[in-house]
Structure 1
Amino acid sequence: MTTEKKIIVTVDALILRLNNNKHEILMIKRSEKCRAFPGALALCGGKVDVGEDPEQGMVRELKEETSLDATNEMSVVCVRGAPDRDPRGHYLSICYNVTLKDPNQIPVAGSDAGEVMYVPLKDIFEEKHKLAFDHLIIVQQYAKWIIKMGIVESIL
């Protein structure tokens, strides 16, 4: 596998909803054609284009992968940049808490997403799904962040 020799900036969306008294997070199932982690669950996101603001990149990537529209209200939850987090090269990811324009809009898979779905946070924490990259760590950090920020009192 060819690796890139520069740091690539990416964005990841953290989108939470409460459904049937369970906290769920939006995930994609990576296409079997993906070079890295084919078939694994991942956060929605991707590369920031040259000349593009990372927040604009987040809005664009979310639309491309899920057909969902984000508001401009987003907050940085964490930044991940370990050199070995992605087998394709050195990727630095800005992870955003994203608010949808219409929380009831149904996501539709596009671009490199094989499927798009909401997954209960408890299922992720119990490792019932294989997650790509370091996305399990990101989701764990997100859970702590949403409690600290007062968005939720506890994970249901």
Structure 2
Amino acid sequence: MINHAGSRLLADLANATGLTAAFTDALRRLWPRGTGHVPGRIAMDLAVMLADGGEAITDLALLRDQAEALGPVASTPTAWRLLASIDPAARAALRAARAAALEVAWIQATDSSPAIPAAHAGGRDLAGLNLDIDATFVTC
């Protein structure tokens, strides 16, 4: 359970910044009946699954096994259908949704907390050291 403690926080952050809703709006045309799993939630579950250490779409089962904490999670075939239906226009809409949610997150962080403190190491502040918390993950 401790290994997956942050999964709920990631999902909550996505909801608080409007990312899940924005993903749903971006993918709405792929959800013509409006029933079943919401596409934005499926996309968010896939992102949480990856952040939680998942490597394949079948790893969504890890989230499904935590239904009490994370709620209902789409089946692997449902997630596959969503991914298969995403075209260049949907990808562009997802990128725009992500950028808007990122802007909201930065505004929320600025409004709700003081500035990020200086890095501290070896008993002193490290002037000029910037930590890029909006960086891309790189496997080393």
Q: Please, what TM-score do these two structures have when normalized by structure 2?
A: 0.28
Higher-Rg structure is 2
Which structure has more relative contact order (CA 8 Å, sep 6+)? It is 1
Pick the structure with more strand per residue.
Answer: 1
Q: TM-score scaled to structure 1, two decimals?
A: 0.26
